[in-house]
Amino acid sequence: MERQVDVVVIGAGPAGEVLAGRLAERGGRRVAIVERDLVGGECSFYACMPSKALLRPAELLREVARVPGAAEALTGTLDVSAVLARRDQVINRLDDSEQLPWLAARNIELVRGHARLDGERRVRVGDDVLLAREAVVIAVGSGALIPPIPGLGEVSAWSNREITTATEVPRRLIVLGGGVVGVEMAQAWASLGSQVTVIEALERLVAREEPLAAQLLRDSLEALGVRVLTGVRASAAGRTGEQITVTLESGETVVGDRLLVAVGRRPLTDDLGLETLGLEPRGHVEVDDHLCVVGAPGLYAVGDVNGRSLLTHSGKYQARIAADHILGERACARTDAQGAPRVVFTDPQIAAVGLTLEAARQAGISAQAFDLPTGATAGASFHGRGAPGVSRFVVDLEREVLVGVTFVGAEVADFLQAATIAIVAGVPLTTLAHAIAPFPTRSELWLKFLEAYESAQGTSLHAGQGPVTAGARDAGR
Amino acid sequence: MERQVDVVVIGAGPAGEVLAGRLAERGGRRVAIVERDLVGGECSFYACMPSKALLRPAELLREVARVPGAAEALTGTLDVSAVLARRDQVINRLDDSEQLPWLAARNIELVRGHARLDGERRVRVGDDVLLAREAVVIAVGSGALIPPIPGLGEVSAWSNREITTATEVPRRLIVLGGGVVGVEMAQAWASLGSQVTVIEALERLVAREEPLAAQLLRDSLEALGVRVLTGVRASAAGRTGEQITVTLESGETVVGDRLLVAVGRRPLTDDLGLETLGLEPRGHVEVDDHLCVVGAPGLYAVGDVNGRSLLTHSGKYQARIAADHILGERACARTDAQGAPRVVFTDPQIAAVGLTLEAARQAGISAQAFDLPTGATAGASFHGRGAPGVSRFVVDLEREVLVGVTFVGAEVADFLQAATIAIVAGVPLTTLAHAIAPFPTRSELWLKFLEAYESAQGTSLHAGQGPVTAGARDAGR
């Protein structure tokens, strides 16, 4: 049966939901959203949310141990079953029914099933065809990438889905991949009692981030008993009874009870019908800055599937832009790609935005980095005391603005918004010098950075900012 | 004996130290700093630092109780003696010797004693006279204001000095004054076991802040067992044996073992020799935006003593400006007065910057407030979960910029820097809409605010921002 709506959104993860909601709320559009799995998406059930639920309790207890007076109250230990129970609550036991009223309140029609594009502004779901008056939006997200390692298909390897929803603590966990998913899960499960080995092919963990962040993270994982192998490739995997063996190119073997594969993501474009629009049915769906799919009238793609920035918040941002563009605005995405903020919720946390020093220099920017211990403030006497941490501010010396900031330390995630605003708005350092940081908070890192900059440049950020009241000036000298 | 230096700084609190350090480091100036009490000042020994040391452990344990899995590990209680011992460590047992190497490393001469101005660019300390080639800077700070309440002088009332350094937990503590010092100490000592009564003459606590913050704070204090009396004046105080009685204007009496007077601050200008420069020796020392004392050539005043903003960080900011001005720059203070950031380190914390809604409207700004529960983000599932909190964003509707932000909630102090930068730099909301907040952090409050603004205004902050690539646009519709 054919029926018509204004917009069809394929995929009800965070990006798809935000987009549908905005079209309905702002534009009064009639929207159908198609989902073959859980409304709320990978993020809500198998990624961001359960991983944080697994990480937070142990992180918090580590902070308590650093605070005399509170530390003494900590006479028990992390309650693993309570952690898992809370995680189950966060993911609502993989039941998406609590997400539905939000859609219903916006009069968004939920269509359960697998959607296939069927030519321009046509989407087939089973026997039904949805006709989109205005646009079709692909928001199908990504799934775990399984690398072509011999034997991997036969060992029942886990992806982010199984590890974030595991109901028992693996005794020995092998993590293939030291990116964000890999290190977060290594930290979480090591804290919960697993013996963890991380195998990363590149020379360092979280390779996208500043090397100093990777090093501190590695130290922290190792202090927790995690074995970290970098610059090492897996060449084969096999199973003997309950035991999984990963063979490295060096010939060494790593054995475990569970194997998490977290080497990357792939866009879920298989069997999406892209070919009915003359598009290549493999890899990312290429979009322009309005999130319009290149070469396909009436088609948009938001979130992981377009490959711009595989982060939930980037997908939500794109959804806002795409929705507004569909509604006739000249909305344009400009901060979701390389410079999007990103947080690794390990302990220490890594919170970064914009360019790393290396990326800035590769981009031809006359960049200089200013590194400070994250604990170098009076505020750090009370919060994150003695925890490892370094923060890096990357300055474009010509324009005298920040182009990248990385905070590494205990609970620094919410430090990031200040840096994001400074970078996105291009706030000159001479203006940042007037953004007083309260004492005694850890935000005084900003002051420390500005002082380090002044000292290195032999300059004052307050110089020449008059208005000079000549009388006062002369009187005062 | 007379001797000459470049600059004489009177008072080695945070403002004086920063100023002396900057003059020495940036300008190579020969600086003498005079201190009659502890180097490091009120803030380091009797205010910001010890108060946070007293507050933090209990705050942290309240957070632990909100996190399943961690809460179960909390089988003991707050260790009061460990809290006090840590506080003693933070204030170095009122010994300032650890502050001295910092001065020495900058070749700053420390002169111990009471300084009196002695005419233009002359400062007398005991028998010595310091001649300042360039400038004299007053950075003497403030002390507790003792109100003229009959009997108050005879009851050995405590100021911030005694309460922050107390070595025993008062059984019953009366707090006169519900400003920042009063509420922080009420919370700290109630957490440590005191039975606390707060008496505030105004209609609400922390009257400078948004009323919604005051209400949440009051609720929290009351939940902790603190008795909060507002709109009530003390008319007399008296002592019977060990017991102190405060009589209210209503006739009611409040009894306790200790009485903290925290009704305000007074600049420490008594016996400073201001009259030798023809200045009024009472009240604040009036300065211009370069921190030059009005009507006194060669004289500056920074920090609490000038009355612009009685906050350590404001004093440090002024010190930077004044130092640069002395060094010949056109440096000018523009964000230290009404809009300076301020944090009340209670639980919930109150972190605010810029104008309250009421202050904005009084200033003739077409202001509108957007209030959101601080817990209205996915990030709040993991941090500050279920804790009371509201955040207010005050927008200048004409300029479409923020003019004030108040966060109330668990551990929100470091949320503030983002707001401070946005306000100081005047970042348009249309730009803030591109400052993506990471998921799942509590910083998504920013997104919630922007959505609330769009919804209220019926607008899109992304509208009309293209460069429109006409081809893509048309193709995409």
Summarize pLDDT for B417-443 with one digit per residue, the tens: 999 999 999 999 999 999 999 999 999
Question: B375: which chain A residues are within 8 Å (Cβ-Cβ)?
Answer: none
pLDDT tens, position by position, B165-174: 999 999 999 9
Neighbouring C-beta atoms of residue A303, cutoff 10 Å: 36
**Cα–Cα distance measured from residue A242 to residue A249, given in angstroms and rounded to the nearest whole number:** 23
- Mean pLDDT, chain A cut into blocks of 10 residues (477 residues total): 96 98 97 98 97 98 98 96 98 96 97 98 97 98 97 96 98 98 98 98 97 97 98 97 96 98 97 95 93 95 97 98 96 86 97 97 98 97 96 98 98 98 98 97 98 96 62 32
- Across the interface, of B382, B413, B416, the residue whose CB is closest to A53 is B382
**Cα–Cα distance measured from residue A100 to residue A367, given in angstroms and rounded to the nearest whole number:** 48
Q: Which of B417, B444, B446 should be substituted to probe chain A, the one whose Cβ sees the most A Cβ atoms within 10 Å?
A: B417
| Cβ atoms of B237 and B134 closer than 8 Å | no
pLDDT tens, position by position, A211-267: 999 999 999 999 999 999 999 999 999 999 999 999 999 999 999 999 999 999 999
Instruction: Name the residue in chain B with its Cα closest to that of A82.
Output: B69
Is beta strand B299-301 parallel, antiparallel or unpaired with respect to B31-35? unpaired
Encoding tokens for residue B473?
């646009």
Crossing angle of helices B312-326 and B14-27, rounded to 10°: 30
Q: Is A153 exposed, middle or buried (0-12, 13-18, 19+ CB in 10 A)?
A: exposed
Question: B442: which chain A residues are within 8 Å (Cβ-Cβ)?
Answer: 413-414
Question: A325: which chain B residues are within 8 Å (Cβ-Cβ)?
Answer: 473, 476
Q: What are phi and psi of B134, to 5 degrees?
A: -110, -50
Is beta strand B390-396 parallel, antiparallel or unpaired with respect to B367-373? antiparallel
**Cα–Cα distance measured from residue B62 to residue B402, given in angstroms and rounded to the nearest whole number:** 32
What's the gap in Å between the CA of B412 and the closest CA on chain A? 9
H/E element, A7: strand A2-10
Neighbouring C-beta atoms of residue B222, cutoff 10 Å: 12
- What is the C-alpha R_g of chain B? 25
Among A397-401, B148-152, B227-231, B465-469, the minimum mean pLDDT is found in B465-469
Residues shown for chain B: 477
Scan for tokens 């693996």, then name that residue. A170
Whether residue B295 is predicted with pLDDT greater than 80 in this model: the reply is: yes
Report the DSSP beta bridge partners of residue A188: none
What's the gap in Å between the CA of B95 and the closest CA on chain A? 17
Q: What are phi and psi of A130, to 5 degrees?
A: -100, 125
Instruction: Name the residue in chain A with its Cα closest to that of B468.
Output: A330
Question: A442: which chain B residues are within 8 Å (Cβ-Cβ)?
Answer: 413-414
What is the rounded average pLDDT of the residues B303-315? 97
- Across the interface, of A82, A343, A431, the residue whose CB is closest to B68 is A82
**Cα–Cα distance measured from residue B187 to residue B62, given in angstroms and rounded to the nearest whole number:** 13
> Would you list the DSSP string of A89-104?
HHTGGG--GGGHHHHH
**Cα–Cα distance measured from residue A38 to residue A44, given in angstroms and rounded to the nearest whole number:** 9
pTM: 0.96
Q: How confident is the model at residue B335 (pLDDT cuts 50, 70, 90)?
A: confident
**Cα–Cα distance measured from residue B302 to residue A468, given in angstroms and rounded to the nearest whole number:** 18
Domains and CATH numbers, chain B: 2-40+96-144+266-326 (3.50.50.60), 152-263 (3.50.50.60), 348-457 (3.30.390.30)
Q: Cβ of A325 and B476 within 8 Å? A: yes
Is beta strand A31-35 parallel, antiparallel or unpaired with respect to A109-112? parallel
Question: B426 CB contacts (<8 Å, ≥6 apart)?
Answer: B399, B401
Q: Cβ of A439 and B61 within 8 Å? A: no
What's the gap in Å between the CA of A155 and the closest CA on chain B? 32
Q: Cβ of A25 and B326 within 8 Å? A: no
Scan for tokens 């209030």, then name that residue. B371
| Cβ atoms of A107 and A20 closer than 8 Å | no
**Cα–Cα distance measured from residue B440 to residue B433, given in angstroms and rounded to the nearest whole number:** 17
Q: Cβ of B439 and A48 within 8 Å? A: yes
H/E element, A9: strand A2-10
Instruction: Name the residue in chain B with its Cα closest to that of A332.
Output: B466
What's the gap in Å between the CA of B23 and the closest CA on chain A? 11
Q: Which of A26, A52, A191, A462 should be substituted to probe chain B, the one whose Cβ sees the most B Cβ atoms within 10 Å?
A: A462
Q: How confident is the model at residue B281 (pLDDT cuts 50, 70, 90)?
A: confident
Instruction: Name the residue in chain B with its Cα closest to that of A293.
Output: B476
- pLDDT at residue B465 in the model: 64
H/E element, A117: strand A115-117
**Cα–Cα distance measured from residue B306 to residue A6, given in angstroms and rounded to the nearest whole number:** 63
Can you say whether residue B123 is alpha, beta or left, with left for phi > 0 and alpha for psi between -120 and 50 degrees? beta
Q: Cβ of B316 and A415 within 8 Å? A: no
What's the gap in Å between the CA of A57 and the closest CA on chain B? 5
Question: B434: which chain A residues are within 8 Å (Cβ-Cβ)?
Answer: 317, 334-335, 424
- pLDDT at residue B185 in the model: 98
Q: Cβ of B61 and A61 within 8 Å? A: no
Instruction: Name the residue in chain A with its Cα closest to that of B56.
Output: A382
Question: A433: which chain B residues are within 8 Å (Cβ-Cβ)?
Answer: 320
Q: Which of A299, A342, A344, A382 should be substituted to probe chain B, the one whose Cβ sees the most B Cβ atoms within 10 Å?
A: A382
Q: Cβ of B420 and A413 within 8 Å? A: no
Encoding tokens for residue B212?
């919604």
Q: Cβ of B425 and A447 within 8 Å? A: no
Q: Please tell me what DSSP assigns to residue A108.
A: P
Q: What's the farthest any 2 CA atoms get from each other in chain B? A: 88
- pLDDT at residue A469 in the model: 39
Question: B420: which chain A residues are within 8 Å (Cβ-Cβ)?
Answer: 418, 435-437
**Cα–Cα distance measured from residue A286 to residue A450, given in angstroms and rounded to the nearest whole number:** 40
- pLDDT at residue B430 in the model: 97
What's the gap in Å between the CA of A178 and the closest CA on chain B? 20
- In this prediction, the answer to ipTM > 0.90 reads yes
**Cα–Cα distance measured from residue A49 to residue A314, given in angstroms and rounded to the nearest whole number:** 16
What's the gap in Å between the CA of A105 and the closest CA on chain B? 16
Please write down the HEC assignment for all residues of chain B.
Answer: CEEEEEEEEECCCHHHHHHHHHHHHHHCCCEEEEECCCCCHHHHHHCHHHHHHHHHHHHHHHHHHCCCCCHHHCCCCCCHHHHHHHHHHHCHHHCCHHHHHHHHHCCCEEEECCEEECCCCEEEECCEEEEEEEEEEECCCEEECCCCCCCHHHCCCECHHHHHCCCCCCCEEEEECCCHHHHHHHHHHHHCCCEEEEEECCCCCCCCCCHHHHHHHHHHHHHCCCEEEECCCEEEEEEECCEEEEEECCCCEEEECEEEECCCEEECCCCCCHHHHCCCCCCCCCECCCCEECCCCCEEECHHHHCCCCCHHHHHHHHHHHHHHHCCCCCCCCCCCCCCCEEECCCCEEEEEECCHHHHHHCCCCEEEEEEECCCCHHHHCCCCCCCCEEEEEEECCCCEEEEEEEEECCCHHHHHHHHHHHHCCCEHHHHCCCCCCCCCHHHHHHHHHHHHHHHHCCCCCCCCCCCCHHHHHHCC
What's the gap in Å between the CA of B111 and the closest CA on chain A? 23
Q: Which amino acid is at A397?
A: L
Crossing angle of helices B80-90 and B48-65, rounded to 10°: 140
Q: Cβ of A67 and B80 within 8 Å? A: no
Q: Cβ of A432 and B440 within 8 Å? A: no
Q: Cβ of B57 and A69 within 8 Å? A: yes
Whether residue B474 is predicted with pLDDT greater than 80 in this model: the reply is: no
| Cβ atoms of B430 and B465 closer than 8 Å | yes
- pLDDT at residue A336 in the model: 82
Helix (H, G, I), strand (E, B) or coil at A359: helix
What is the torsional sign of CA B316, B320, B326, B332?
negative
**Cα–Cα distance measured from residue B287 to residue B306, given in angstroms and rounded to the nearest whole number:** 7
Whether residue B338 is predicted with pLDDT greater than 80 in this model: the reply is: no
